[in-house]
Amino acid sequence: MRALAHPVRLALLEALARHEPLTATEAAEVIGESPTTCSFHLRMLAKYGMVEETGGARGRRRPWRRTGAAGFIFPVTDDDPQTSIAAAKLSDLVWSRLLERTRKVLASRPSYPADWEAISGATESVAYVTQEEARQLIAELDAVIGRYQDRFANPGRRPADSLPLEILLFTYPLDAARPGR
């Protein structure tokens, strides 16, 4: 979690998820940081096994790629209080970035070409379900999204006209959002 708890590192992982492989200089152009900063943070991510050099280095040009899947899951609570605090802070940082990006994208929808506007949107729904039905619903949604996950690691499986589509899914008991809870 410590490796991820920095906005530049999160931005680098996001950039690599969409554009890998990238050199520090190329990553700097994508995320708006200096090549030196990107190089430092890529090495930190490599230290924790989250990125690796692709092996195609020529001179100072060192391409990097992610070592895992697109996205990550980490526990929100742990038996260790310090780990729980770190997880909560990381969760807040990650979700703040994602929600801010979502807000900006949805606000700019009217400027999109019609076909892009049609696939960009937000939906809010409430479903009255039992705990078991909620588990089943989440499993079904995960299965639908999972049908496309192999395209992340294997660009050759991506259709020629494909584009990366970010999907955020929140599930929680609505009563948990009441004031005072």
User: Residue 137: its pLDDT value, please?
Assistant: 95
Q: Which CATH code for domain 7-66?
A: 1.10.10.10
For 88-136, the DSSP string reads: HHHHHHHHHHHHHHHHHHHHTGGGS-HHHHHH-----------HHHHHH
User: Residue 90: its pLDDT value, please?
Assistant: 83
- Domain ranges for the chain, please list them: 7-66, 73-112, 123-181
Report the Cα 102 to chain-centroid distance in Å: 12
pLDDT of the chain, 181 residues: tens digit per residue: 667 778 899 899 989 988 878 999 999 999 999 999 999 999 999 998 889 998 766 767 789 988 865 555 656 666 778 777 878 888 888 888 889 989 998 899 889 888 888 888 888 899 999 999 999 999 999 999 989 888 877 788 989 988 888 888 888 888 876 776 5
What is the C-alpha separation between 62 and 54, in angstroms, rounded? Answer: 8
114's tokens: 């019609």
Answer for the pair 169, 141: CB distance below 8 angstroms, yes or no: yes
User: Residue 126: its pLDDT value, please?
Assistant: 92
Residues contacting residue 130 through CB under 8 Å, at least 6 positions apart = none
What is the C-alpha separation between 12 and 24, in angstroms, rounded? Answer: 9
Residues contacting residue 94 through CB under 8 Å, at least 6 positions apart = 4, 10
